[in-house]
Amino acid sequence: MVSRILVLGAAGGFGRSVVTEFAARGWLVRGLVRRRPGPEAFPDGVEVVEGDARDRAVLARVVQGCEVVALAVNYPFAQWDPGMRDATAKAIAACRDAGALLLFPGSVHGFGRQTGRALPEDAPQDATTRKGRLRADLEYMIRRGCDDGRMRAIIVRAGDLFGPGVRNSLVDRLFGRALAGRPMLWPGRLSVPHQWGYGPDLARLAGDLVARRDTLAPCQAVHLSGHVFTRQGDFLDAIAAGAGLRGRVARTVPWWALRLAAPFDPTLREMLELDYLFEDAVILDDPARRRLLPGFQTTGLEAAIAATLSDYRGHA
C-alpha cells in the first residue's frame, strides 16, 4: 500500500520542501494551504486543499488516511502566540485521533542564550525570551501527546533555513538584495559564527527518519548540523560569489538603528528579542543523526546557494 502524508502549510518554505521530497519518494501527498498557489508550486499528483490548519473540522477531514502529518505552518512573529500554539495543539489532537506520526520542525529559540558550545539533541531548553519559551512549550506539548502511545512524533531542528521557497525578512535581505546587485544586510556582527540549514536537506532528513519510524523513540528529536560558519561573513561572501555581486557585498545594521525603526514595523519589534542569536553563536550538534543515519550527507554549499538564487530569479 502507498503511504500518505498530510502537509499543513504546504506552500511555505519547509512545507514545500517536504511536499517535494515525499512526492519524489512515491508517497501520496495532501497539502493544506490557506491560499491555493500556482500549478507550478508542487509536483504533479499532489492533492491541494484550501483551509485553515487551526480549524478542527478541516483537520479531521484532511487527516483521514494519512500516516504522517507534517506541521509546516508558520506565522509572522507577532502572531506566533497564539497562532503557533493553537495550530500545534490542533495538529496533536488530529494525530492522536488518527494514530498518525507528527513531523515537526523545531528551532534553536528554545535553547536560549549560549556560549558557543554545540548543543546535542537532548540539551536542556532553557529559553530566555518569549519566543523561546513558546517554542519550548510547543515541543513539550508534542512530547506529552506521545506519552500514551496514541501518536508518535519526529522533531527535526536546524539553524536558519534557506533554499527554494524559503522567504522571510532575513533571507530576502541576503539573496534578494544580492541578485539585485545591492549590498546584503545583516543584523549583527559578521565575525560571529552562525549556522544555516538548507531546506531540502531538512526535508530529506525528515524523509529518512520517517522511513525508519518504527525504530525510533516515541518522540524523536534529531538535529541537522547543516552549514556552520566560523564567521557569518563567509556565508555572505559565498552568496555574493554565486550572485555575481561585486564591490561592497554586505553591510551590517546596528541594533540601535533597528530599535529606532521598531515602533513603525511589527516584525522588527518582535525581532529585537532575538538579538542574542546574531551576537552570540547558538550552534546545533547532531549526535542522534550520526547514530541513526550515519551516511546522511548535506548538499554542498555552492549547489545549495545556486538553487536558492535560481528560485529567487524564477519568482522575482
The alpha carbons of the chain give a radius of gyration, in whole angstroms, of: 19
d(CA 37, CA 17): 15
Among 114-118, 267-271, 295-299, which stretch is predicted with the lowest mean pLDDT? 114-118
pLDDT digits (tens, 9 = 90+) for 120-145: 999 999 898 999 999 999 999 999 99
pLDDT at 269: 87
Whether 168 shows a pLDDT value over 80: the answer reads: yes
Each domain of the chain, given as residue ranges in start order, spans 4-166+196-226+280-298
Instruction: Provide the whole-model pTM.
Output: 0.96
Name the region of 163 (left: φ>0; alpha: ψ -120 to 50; beta: rest). Answer: left
State how beta strands 219-223 and 250-252 pair: unpaired
More confident position, 178 or 267: 178
Whether 115 shows a pLDDT value over 70: the answer reads: no
pLDDT at 66: 98
Q: What is the mean pLDDT of the chain?
A: 94
Q: Cα 74 from chain centroid?
A: 9
pLDDT at 315: 80
- The fold for domain 4-166+196-226+280-298 equals Rossmann fold (3.40.50)
Q: Which residue has the cell 522511513?
A: 211
E-strand stretches of 95-205:
101-105, 152-157, 160-162, 184-186, 194-198
Whether 213 shows a pLDDT value over 70: the answer reads: yes
More confident position, 255 or 223: 223
Rounded average pLDDT over 188-197: 94
What's the grid cell of residue 87? 495550530
pLDDT at 270: 86
